[in-house]
Amino acid sequence: MSFWTDYTLQIVALGAAALGLTSGALGSFAVLRKQSLLGDAISHAALPGIALAFLLTGSKAPLVLVLGAAVAGWIGTLVVMRIVNATRNKEDSALGIVLAVFFGFGLVLLTLIQKRPDASQAGLDRFLFGQAATLLQRDVILISVLGGIALLVSAVFWKEFKLLAFDPEFATSIGLPVRLLDVILTSVLVLSIVIGLQTVGVVLMSAMVVAPAAAARQWTDRLGRMVLLAGGFGALAGVSGAVISSAAQHVPTGPTIVLCLTALVVVSMAFAPTRGLVWEGVRQARNRRTLHMHSVLADLQALALQHPEQEHGHATAVLEIVHPGALHELKALEQRGWARRRGDDWAITPAGRAEAATHGRGPDYEEER
Amino acid sequence: MVPEQEIQWIAALTAAACALPGVFLVLRRMALMSDAISHAILLGIVLGFFVTQNLASPLLVVAAAATGVLTVSLVEMINRTRLVREDAAIGLVFPALFSIGVILIARFAGSVHLDVDAVLLGELAFAPFNRWIVNGRDLGPRTLWLMGALLLLNAGFVAAFYKELKITTFDAALAGTLGFAPGLLHYAFMTLVSATAVGAFDAVGSVLVVALMIAPPAAAFLLTDRLPRMIGLSVALGVVSALAGYWTSYLFDVSIAGSMATMTGAMFGIVFLLAPERGLLALERRRRRQRWEFAQTMLAIHLMNHEDSAEADRENRESHLHGHLRWKPEFAQRVVRRAEGSGWLSRTGGDTLRLTDRGRVAACEAIGITS
């Protein structure tokens, strides 16, 4: 089956893309504000909201369930903040309590619902792990509309959210209503999380918030670019996850999207310019070589000073005593015209002496002479 | 034992076994490591299952505990690169490992008795069916023995390394300079957390392990300042919540693990509200009392400031306080009555207020004059 002819796949991919775009973009703020795991608590806390919304209305309309999830996720966030502010328990404990307790309560409600005589409850448990294959056109429209609202709000409050992320004290001092802005930002984060529960599930939704932002952070130091990149990464992972899981048999979509995101994070952490670990390693290796080369040059210089005739050659073995593997450095010195080779002997050149003189140990030897 | 009793024993032992390492997780601000570990062990359980083809094999526990430790070291490895913060590192590692586990199950284990629900949510009601039989003798449910062993292991570890745990928890730098090996202890401890999470997944499911590990110690933290007492209280609160959860689930016929988690939350909520010194009510009461004490002191300072001066007659009247301190008349009246009650002032000639010696001393103390 091809992407271009398979309608179900197109719907799923579109939904996953809209979802990845929203949660990636808004996740950037969460990650920058050190609230990466708030997403985990919110998504778990949403479960009882979904169950209650169904118990109260008897409806499984996506909007009803998503609103229930949003209210519960929001209450969960409030509880976390209350615990952190009013007790000496730290944020990690508060998040842990909220996510596990709300989730447990959600399970209780789900088992209550399962006892109902009619079969109307079928399908609620797809929120646990997500079932992207069940996405319908109306679900995708809902995801896009709510995600669009969340993105629009963050565009409107762009400047304020930026300040909130980087310097909340300054924001307070210039008279911004920080608490209100915090509430708005948290609300759009909640929104971006609950729209993903049906596709990815409560357990894995936190990755949709954290991973795109963590990957995007490696490529840029500018918030605007980071948010755009994170949204792009989220959408890319959403589409690739949907396509891969439809191509292979028995591969659930949610976990596949998460693994695509993980791959993006690994690539970003390894290869992003300036911050990437690979470039960092290359840089360190290069520095180490330069350092070695200069200390071999200094040794050559020191040896030269012991001899009346400075162009006197010294055997590689002599230099290898101090610097195992010095031959490699000597060749590099020769390339730069700082050392000259005669058979197996090495001598420093006038240019090499000048270079050695400028490198720390040089002047001391000049004085000795 | 009848199955109901066995379930309760398992619930109580699991709660106690989880609360012990939980205390240190909460104090070390690593509560969410339990979340990460309990999700990531799914991968270990799946891999162990592929090797042994037996859900009851002890190798499964070993493989899963190893995945837990792998999670911890992966998080620390990512941390060391300093490319992302610690919370983000946790949020990156466990969803990835969990996803691999879910995909493996969906792809290769679809037909056997191993599904994500069972691992994540647990089913305590089935625990009594899985019995440990040696030479034809029925020794009781396997889970009961497993959790009992884990409880003993945890208690033994805490008892043996109590001093080390305490010092690395409260002052890691000091522990380092004194020559303890915080890293080694940390890994031993995290292995224990993983093993406990693995043992408990069978009973309560991995997400609810988090509830049993975090909520009781977090509640106990609000009740005491002493570590031994906190450990005891955590175990007690955990066991009580677990049993209360069991009975609630029995009454309403709902998920046992879910209602146990709900009860740990309810327990935390009650402590959060009513804790004698740190509870919300106690805080509110203290705030209110401080408001009155502050007003009373203000009044004493005001009276002292103006006594023996020309305007004393005009200033030191109850009816003047509204103009001077912006107190509403009824508030002023109550403050004056309180101050009178504590013997700080006396009324002379109806409205005029006069400080007593005791009131003067209190006012002097408040503004820092010691005579």
A203-230 pLDDT, tens digit per residue, is 889 999 999 999 999 999 999 999 999 9
* Mean pLDDT, rounded, for B147-164: 93
State the first-to-last Cα distance of chain A, in angstroms, to the nearest integer: 82
Whole-angstrom Cα distance, residue A99 to residue A76?
8
Touching check for A40 and chain B: CB below 8 Å?
A: yes
Task: Please report the pLDDT score of residue A119 as a whole number.
Answer: 57
Cα torsion A246, A251, A252, A253: sign: negative
* Mean pLDDT, rounded, for A167-172: 93
CA closest to A212 among chain B residues: B92
- Per-residue tokens: A366: 């000049």
Q: pTM value? A: 0.86
pLDDT-derived band at A360 (thresholds 50, 70, 90) equals low
Whole-angstrom Cα distance, residue A121 to residue A112?
10
Q: How far is CA B319 from CA B316, B327, B332, B349, B351, in A?
A: 9, 10, 8, 13, 7
Task: Please report the pLDDT score of residue A256 as a whole number.
Answer: 93
Which residue did the predictor score with more confidence, B77 or A60?
A: B77
Q: How many CA atoms lie within 13 A of B74 on its CB side?
A: 21
- Contact B207/A255, CB-based, under 8 Å? no
* pLDDT at position A341 over 90: no
* pLDDT at position B111 over 60: no
Contacts of A206 in chain B (CB under 8 A): 91, 95
Whole-angstrom Cα distance, residue B42 to residue B296?
62
**φ/ψ (deg, to 5) at B317:** -125, 150
* pLDDT at position A369 over 50: no
Whole-angstrom Cα distance, residue A43 to residue A76?
9
- Contact B99/A275, CB-based, under 8 Å? no
> Hey, which residues does B137 pair with through a beta bridge?
B134
Contacts of A97 in chain B (CB under 8 A): 211, 214-215, 218, 264-265, 268
pLDDT-derived band at A75 (thresholds 50, 70, 90) equals very high
- Contact A90/B29, CB-based, under 8 Å? yes
Whole-angstrom Cα distance, residue A346 to residue A327?
10
Touching check for B85 and chain A: CB below 8 Å?
A: yes
* Mean pLDDT, rounded, for A142-168: 94
* Mean pLDDT, rounded, for A52-78: 91
Top-confidence range, A311-315, B185-189, B242-246, B301-305 = B242-246
Cross-chain CB nearest to B95 (options A44, A115, A206): A206
Tokens 């969990």 correspond to B98
Q: E-strand spans in A22-136?
A: none
pLDDT-derived band at B113 (thresholds 50, 70, 90) equals low
Task: Please report the pLDDT score of residue B119 as a whole number.
Answer: 65
Whole-angstrom Cα distance, residue A176 to residue A186?
16
- Per-residue tokens: B333: 């009246």
- Per-residue tokens: A340: 């000259």
Q: How far is CA B87 from CA A37, B49, B68, B357, in A?
A: 6, 30, 17, 58
Whole-angstrom Cα distance, residue B206 to residue B204?
7
Cα torsion B204, B210, B214, B215: sign: negative
3-state secondary structure (DSSP) of residue B256: helix
Contacts of A277 in chain B (CB under 8 A): 81, 83
- Contact A97/B30, CB-based, under 8 Å? no
> Which of B200, B214, B190 minimizes the C-alpha distance to B73?
B190
DSSP assignments along B100-164, one per residue = HHHHHHHHH-TTSS--HHHHHH--GGGGGGSEEEETTEEEEEHHHHHHHHHHHHHHHHHHHTHHH
Touching check for B258 and chain A: CB below 8 Å?
A: yes
Contacts of B206 in chain A (CB under 8 A): none
Report yes or no for ipTM above 0.90.
no
Per-residue pLDDT reduced to its tens digit, A255-306:
999 999 999 999 999 999 888 899 989 999 989 888 888 888 888 888 888 8
* Mean pLDDT, rounded, for A77-81: 94
* pLDDT at position B212 over 90: yes
Touching check for A41 and chain B: CB below 8 Å?
A: no
Q: Please give the share of chain A, as a percent, with pLDDT higher than 90.
A: 54
Task: Please report the pLDDT score of residue A120 as a whole number.
Answer: 58
Interface of A with B in 238-257 (CB under 8 A): 248-252, 254-256
- Contact A87/B278, CB-based, under 8 Å? yes
Task: Please report the pLDDT score of residue A114 as a whole number.
Answer: 82
* Mean pLDDT, rounded, for B334-341: 86
Q: E-strand spans in chain B?
A: 131-134, 137-141, 345-348, 352-355
* pLDDT at position A364 over 60: no
Touching check for A266 and chain B: CB below 8 Å?
A: no
Tokens 């610690």 correspond to B86
Q: Torsion over CA of B20, B22, B27 and B33, rounded to 10 degrees?
A: 140
Which residue did the predictor score with more confidence, A124 or A31?
A: A31
Chain B nearest-CA distance from A143, in A, is: 22
* pLDDT at position B295 over 70: yes
- Per-residue tokens: B85: 């913060």
Touching check for A46 and chain B: CB below 8 Å?
A: no
Which residue did the predictor score with more confidence, A31 or B141?
A: A31
- Contact B120/A83, CB-based, under 8 Å? no
Contacts of B99 in chain A (CB under 8 A): 204, 207, 254-256, 258-259, 262
> Which of A198, A234, A283 minimizes the C-alpha distance to A25?
A234
Cβ-based neighbour number of residue A14 at 10 Å: 20
- Contact B255/A107, CB-based, under 8 Å? yes
Whole-angstrom Cα distance, residue B222 to residue B211?
17
- Contact B26/A89, CB-based, under 8 Å? yes
In total, the C-beta contacts within 8 angstroms joining chain A to chain B are 211
Q: How far is CA A233 from CA A313, B198, B240, in A?
A: 59, 34, 46
Q: Torsion over CA of A341, A342, A348 and A351, rounded to 10 degrees?
A: -70
Contacts of B208 in chain A (CB under 8 A): 100, 103-104
Task: Please report the pLDDT score of residue B118 as a whole number.
Answer: 65
- Contact B213/A97, CB-based, under 8 Å? no
Touching check for B249 and chain A: CB below 8 Å?
A: yes
CA closest to A265 among chain B residues: B92
* Mean pLDDT, rounded, for B156-172: 90
Whole-angstrom Cα distance, residue A321 to residue A319?
5
Per-residue pLDDT reduced to its tens digit, B246-274:
999 999 988 888 999 999 999 999 999 99
Lowest-confidence range among A66-70, A186-190, A307-311, B240-244?
Answer: A307-311
Per-residue pLDDT reduced to its tens digit, B188-202:
999 999 999 888 877
User: Cβ distance A203 to B120 under 8 Å?
Assistant: yes
* Mean pLDDT, rounded, for B296-307: 86
Q: How far is CA A119 from CA A114, B53, B145, B300, in A?
A: 8, 35, 39, 73
Cross-chain CB nearest to B88 (options A31, A92, A259): A31
- Contact B26/A128, CB-based, under 8 Å? no
Contacts of B95 in chain A (CB under 8 A): 203-204, 206-207, 210-211, 258, 262
* pLDDT at position B1 over 80: no
Task: Please report the pLDDT score of residue A362 as a whole number.
Answer: 45
Q: Please give the share of chain A, as a percent, with pLDDT higher than 70.
A: 94
Task: Please report the pLDDT score of residue B112 as a whole number.
Answer: 54
